[in-house]
Amino acid sequence: MNIELVEVGPRDGLQSERVILPTAAKIALIEQLIAAGLRRIEVTSFVNPKRVPQMADAEAVLAGLPRRTGVSYIGLVLNHKGLERARDAGCDAIGMAIVASETFNRRNQGVGTEESIAAWQQIAPAARAAGIAPNVTISAAFGCPYEGDVDPRRVLEIALRCAESNPVEICLADTIGVAVPTQVEDLFASLHERLPTMPLRAHFHNTRNTALANVYAAIRSGARAIDASVGGIGGCPFAPAATGNVPTEDVLYMLNRMGIETGVSIERLLATAQWVEQQLGKPVPGMLIKAGNFPPPRTAAQESA
Ligand code: MG
């Protein structure tokens, strides 16, 4: 089996970090991620820079990135203006986020969920016409900081309506890190049953230490791509002390040991996570970076023995 790792560190990871990385450092990070074998990278978001200062250099990041065959640069957008910026900047793909809960959608995007769905119905064909792959993410699919539990029927309804506009993939996101594996299994299995040919992606935060278990549950229930951030950087705006996205190298360790192919080098990814620690000036939340890979890399003496 193959699973595609989608690296979201440069966007979801960095956006909630207090240290604003210079554009050149962001580009250097993305280049290291490509060298580690990652092929889909969420590189920035095209949102209001006043609200997300870390992403104010979206255009400059894209302008500085190397063009590599087979590497897809994804930009997060919330509306049509975002799509236009992403197109002009040269994104290969866009990820549109629609929040499953009304209150959260209004707070995050300034419009209701229905308006975001209507925007997506315009954005998806416009992106395709511009040669950009349209992805859609249903955010807060497993719980909302304002409304609490989110009705899975509502999530499915939004996903099915979004599917009518032909996304290349649908993602279900546990934006605030509250999901547990049984919930993940139920929701992914229901969606997969209704849309058997639609590629599904999963996005988890490790806010309550359930992210890796949720990754496993999502894969068992039909997800074939997993969002993760190098070092597990990021956070949760609703839980200030919380850890971030599920760490890419921790997911990779699990998949490697399960015999699942990703094409990503764990040693290079660990080196990148260490580099990120230096850039941010603090330890990252990932576990593999502390424990090391297993089995450990063979030493030169062992190789020659
Ligand atoms: Mg997220």
Q: How far from 102 is each of 99, 110, 115, 203, 236, CA to CA, in Å? A: 7, 10, 10, 20, 19
Residue range 100-125: mean pLDDT, rounded: 96
Other Cβ atoms less than 10 A from the Cβ of 66: the count is: 9
Residue 205 Cα to ligand 1 midpoint, Å, equals 6
The second-level CATH assignment, the architecture, of 4-304 is Alpha-Beta Barrel (3.20)
Ligand 1 centre distance from Cα of residue 245 (Å): 6
**C-alpha distances in Å from residue 56, one per residue of 50, 62, 120, 123:** 8, 12, 23, 22
Burial of 286 (0-12, 13-18, 19+ CB in 10 A): buried
pLDDT at 18 (0 to 100): 87
Q: What is the pLDDT of residues 270-292, one digit of tens each?
A: 999 999 999 999 999 999 999 99
CB 289 within 8 A of CB 270: yes
Instruction: Give me the active site residues, please.
Output: 236
CA–CA gap between residue 228 and residue 205 (Å, rounded): 8
**Beta carbons within 8 Å of 257's beta carbon, 6+ residues apart:** 294
In whole angstroms, how far apart are CA 167 and each of 8, 133, 135, 136? 19, 8, 5, 7
- CB 42, CB 229: distance < 8 Å: no
Rounded CA gap, 27 and 21, in Å?
10
Mean pLDDT across 202-213: 97
Mean pLDDT of 227-253: 92
Q: Ligand 1 centroid to 47 CA: how many Å?
A: 15
Ligand 1 centroid to Cα of residue 203, in Å, is: 7
For the entire predicted model, the pTM comes to: 0.96
User: What pLDDT score was predicted for residue 55?
Assistant: 96
Q: How far is the CA of 137 from the centre of ligand 1 (A)?
A: 10
Residue 239: per-residue pLDDT: 80
Nearest to 137 by CA among 160, 162, 170: 170
Q: Residue ranges of the domains in the chain? A: 4-304
pLDDT in tens, 210-239: 999 999 999 999 999 999 999 999 987 778
Share of the chain above pLDDT 90, in %: 92
